[in-house]
Chain A
């Protein structure tokens, strides 16, 4: 702002040209890098892939077609099969819901101890943030595999893995929510001599709770997917059933499980959108 304005219009012209050129150049550079990544990645893929790309494209519809053919052969006998797998689906949903709830509670604790407006001690904040980074970054599968190895086949490893990951992932979002909340209610409560817990309970929590719940519902949706995947490596539920059915090549049953899964996920998608809409309002 203190810089003197260019003396004449010509100078403006020149500057504009310079800026435009610079912009074009950085855009071109960005595009070049993207193309380079694309070709490099394609080369790596071609090198590493077992089958060729062309044959893969040609085969794309084979498997879905086989599944549907199997299903149509079954005729009306098909529907009892779909119902048969609902208990498995409920196990998966139970894993997801339970670990989301526990993870949600842990995330709130994490978030409180990593928010700059609640905690003065920098060391505590840094440590909690580090903890969240680590728990968030491990793919659930890796945690679950290790615990499956140590504890044997059951749903518990999935619960532990999803809980750990959820705590980290939600914790980060919650921290942002708390740090962005209005400071005035906290000041107001400080002025009447409220304790630290009271301040959190009556000024922070009412502000952030709708946002927390909204994030939690979104996370629940993700965790249903996660718990299905963990079922695939042996944590029970519909994932494990699906893995077995694929191995036995029971096409109709595979499709039944897939339908159940896709239906559940789409239903949850709509439900979560509806709930979140209700929680944080239409205008946000």
Chain B
């Protein structure tokens, strides 16, 4: 059976020798291209140091980064010189100290006096405890550790782990001991550091605390919905203003997440994208008619406009934003014009190509009624290209939103700059995550909005190219 098949195949091969030669040739070409791409990928792999990823990738840093994006921490600090003066601060911020008199902010329930009434206990979420005494720190009750630990200061005032000589390696994991510091970090969520001068404890919990109302807000004791409910009650939380006003201003002026500033920055970015696209559309519309051969008979004008489009597009929005940044300073105008100029080139080119590809018959039909040139274009060309114009402008709206974020980060302001700022501080990673999610949501929203508008305006959400 198989041999007869082979014979048949051979016959076919003999019958159409040219076809098979062609196929072999094109297959060979494909293989050569494939080989070249492979060679390039290997070269790129080494020239771009992709091999260094494991070396550069510091899991510890990444874990800390990710941890801080979804968790918050409280700092507990005790100075050895006065062991009763213990400061508990949210994220170590000196403005968010628990139990400070003028704020009337009660001490959290995970901090209490020990049963012997001498030590102060910091209880972690995993039920492990750090007990602070006048001259020592006891670490007790940690899961996965069989025994308790004590850290003391020696006669030179340096911290040391009591009885560390007797401990097995299994017990010592989680400890990091240097001359001036003993650190205990069994998991990412608990961290106890003992220095010659002080003890510092970081206690992590999951979630974005103070997302709606910040530490010092009068509405902080309430949850979001409780506070929303309060806005309907007549009884004022603070005498100065109504509850609704308080509710809104407290959210707006939240110090931790800065909703007011972030949302204003987001608005700036959206304005850049929308007005930039509008600007480009308005500029490109008449220019594209002048650049289309079936509308404009003057060849030189067409040629010049084409080169103008190329230049506007070629000078990338990066360079445009640098130039406008010098002129307008940081602000949305820089973004609007940078986007507008670049996209005038892009849209102008696309529009003029669309105009050139229109059906000639409709225009001829209008011409046959004795209409003027202007009316011919108005009723012969515009109805054909309007959906294409709308579709393309809306399509660029979404990518311009992303562009506006980038221009913002280059110095034009908006959410891009806020993002850079939050990242640069090096510890506000929950803000970084918040803004990243916000940007993601807005870009996806713009994408959906533009698709929806395209659907209701022209009946199809696909990009019509020609």
A: residues with CB less than 8 A from B are 34, 37-38, 41-42, 44-45, 48-51, 53, 56-57, 59-60, 62-64, 94-95, 97-98, 101-102, 133-134, 137-142, 145-146, 149-152, 154-156, 159, 176, 225, 228-229, 232-233, 239, 246, 258, 261-262, 265-266, 269
The residues in B between 311 and 335 inclusive whose CB is less than 8 angstroms from any CB of A are: 311, 313-319, 322-324, 326-334
CA distance A37 to B273 in the complex (A): 12
Q: Is B40 touching A38 in the complex (CB atoms < 8 A)?
A: no
The answer to whether B356 has its CB under 8 Å from any CB of chain A is no
A284 to B56, CA, bound (A): 46
Bound-state Cα–Cα, A36 to B41, Å? 51
**Chain B interface mostly:** helix
Interface string of B406-428 (1 = CB under 8 A from A): 10011001001001100100000
CB-based contact B444/A137 at 8 Å: yes
CB <8 Å contact, B322 and A56: no
Q: Is the pair B331, A229 in contact by a Cβ cutoff of 8 Å? A: no
A225 touches B318 (CB 8 A): yes
Interface residues, chain B, with chain A CB atoms under 8 Å away: 37, 40-41, 44-45, 47-50, 52-53, 56-58, 61-62, 65, 264, 267-268, 271, 274-275, 278, 310-311, 313-319, 322-324, 326-334, 336, 402, 405-406, 409-410, 413, 416, 419-420, 423, 432, 436, 439-440, 443-444, 447, 462
B102 to chain A, nearest CB (A): 35
Q: Which residues from B are CB-within-8-Å of A51?
A: 327-329, 331, 333
CB distance from B250 to the nearest CB of A (A): 23
Interchain Cβ contacts within 8 Å, total number:
174
A49 and B406 contact, CB distance less than 8 A: no
> Besides the contacts A145-B409, A266-B314, what 15 more A-B pairs have beta carbons closer than 8 Å?
A45-B271, A49-B329, A59-B328, A95-B48, A98-B40, A98-B45, A137-B443, A137-B447, A149-B423, A150-B65, A154-B49, A156-B56, A225-B318, A258-B315, A269-B313
8 smallest beta-carbon distances between A and B, as pairs:
A49-B331, A56-B328, A98-B44, A51-B329, A50-B329, A45-B332, A63-B326, A266-B314
Given A141-B409, A142-B405 in contact, is the A62-B318 Cβ separation under 8 Å? no
Mostly, the A contact residues are helix
A42 partner residues in chain B, CB cutoff 8 A: 275
B271 in complex: contacting residue of A41, A56, A266, CB < 8 Å:
A41
Tell whether, in the assembled complex, residue A146 and residue B44 are in contact, meaning their CB atoms are under 8 Å apart: no
Question: A138 and B271 in contact (CB under 8 A), knowing A48-B264, A156-B49, A262-B315?
Answer: no
Residues of A with C-beta under 8 A to B332:
41, 44-45, 48-49
Q: Beyond A45-B271, A59-B326, A62-B326, is A154–B52 a contact (Cβ under 8 Å)?
A: yes
B81 to chain A, nearest CB (A): 37
